[in-house]
Amino acid sequence: MVTRQLAAAVGVAAAVAVGLVAAPAASAAQGVLKVGDREYRNPSGCYRNTTTPLRVENRTDQVVVIFHDSRCAGERVGLVGPGSLAVSEFGGSVHVP
């Protein structure tokens, strides 16, 4: 009986380990995001503005959010859809989900 329980426990542990290894990583947007004069391939997260006004060229498959704050917090001042370009006088950062 103990041998069966041990075998079952090892089987479950192996299945969990395989599931963790095979689980997909958090997905980044696919494509290129240009924020000001910098380009980011397959971006994910927050990107600070380095130019005024903020110029965002979204060549990814995700909608990105422009924030007034430089840390992707606070007031949202715009959205930039896939394949779109936006210029924002008040943009401080861009967030990619």
Condensed to tens digits (0 to 9), the pLDDT of residues 4-55 reads 554 444 444 444 444 444 444 457 899 999 999 999 999 999 999 989 999 9
User: How far is residue 60 CA from its own chain's centroid?
Assistant: 11
C-beta separation of 69 from 38 below 8 A:
no
Backbone angles phi, psi at 62, to 5 degrees: -125, 155
pTM: 0.72
Residue bearing tokens 């599931």 = 19
Predicted pLDDT at 26:
56
The DSSP secondary structure of 37-69, one letter per residue, reads TEEEES--EEEE--SSSEEEEEEESS-EEEESS
